[in-house]
Amino acid sequence: MKIQQISLFVENKPGHLTAPVRLLAEEGVDIRSLYLADTQQFGIVRMIVSDWQKAAQILETHGFAVKVTEVLAVEVADRPGGLTGILTVLDGMDINIEYMYAFPYSRTNEAILIFRFSDLDRAMAQLQAAGINLVTSEELLPK
């Protein structure tokens, strides 16, 4: 149920996002979601892409520092209280959200939340036990 996310290091300077994104486009890799975490000096680009293995390989061969990270994609109703419902499930478990981002799921009236937890396996088990739908990469990225 975990899905693979591609992260890459970029400097926080004009034009620095263009090169990696163009490379992926040229190789026909679709970016389903992209989130940029930035500091004043550098940023980390996190992406859910149509083919993570291909994306990682392309970027690595072009000299980028790339990391493949497992994250959870959680389906949630796109309405007030949606996120609260998810987070409440994890209350009292001492699991930290290292980062998260969200994007709308165009097929339904749902949103997808991408989570990186300090303890991914425990978080996954707990969310599943609470009946929360974890989206697989096949569902998220139909080939």
Partner 1 sequence: MSSIMELAATLETSASDCHPASVPDYTPLAELRDLQLQRLQAVVTLAWKQVKLFRSRMDGLGLAPEDIRSLDDVARLPLTQKSDLRDTYPFGLFASPMKDVVRLHASSGTTGKPIVVAYTQKDIDVWTSVLVRCFAGCGLHRGDIMQIAYGYGLFTGGLGAHYGAEGLGATVVPTSGGHADRQIMLMKDFGVTAMCCTPTYFLHLIDRAVELGVDLKELPLRAGVFGAEPWTESMRKHIEKMSNLEAFDIYGLSEIIGPGVGCECRRHQGLHIFEDHFYPEIVDPETGAPLEDGSEGELVLTTLSKQAMPMIRYRTRDITRILPGPCECGRTLRRIDRIGRRSDDMLIIRGVNVFPSQVESALLEIEGTLPHYQIVLTRVQGLDQMEVQVEVTPQMFNDKIGALQGLQTRIQSALDHILGIRVRVALVEANSIERSEGKAKRVIDRRTA
Site residues (vs partner 1, CB under 8 A) = 5, 7, 9-11, 16, 37, 39, 41-42, 44, 46, 60, 63-67, 69, 98-99, 116
Q: Closer CB to partner 1, residue 38 or residue 121?
A: 38
We find the least distance from the C-beta atom of residue 111 to partner 1, in angstroms, to be 22
Q: Closer CB to partner 1, residue 64 or residue 103?
A: 64
Q: Closer CB to partner 1, residue 41 or residue 106?
A: 41
Q: Closer CB to partner 1, residue 7 or residue 137?
A: 7
Note whether 35 and 7 are within 8 A (CB).
Answer: no
Q: What are the backbone dihedrals phi and psi of residue 84, each rounded to the nearest 5 degrees, phi first?
A: -60, -40
We find the least distance from the C-beta atom of residue 112 to partner 1, in angstroms, to be 19
C-alpha distances in Å from residue 77, one per residue of 4, 18, 54, 99, 105: 23, 33, 31, 20, 10
Q: Closer CB to partner 1, residue 67 or residue 79?
A: 67
Q: What does 82-130 look like in DSSP terms, one character per residue?
A: HHHHHHHHTTTS---EEEEEEEEETTTTEEEEEEEESSHHHHHHHHHHT
We find the least distance from the C-beta atom of residue 62 to partner 1, in angstroms, to be 9
We find the least distance from the C-beta atom of residue 130 to partner 1, in angstroms, to be 26
Tokens standing for 91? Answer: 């209350």
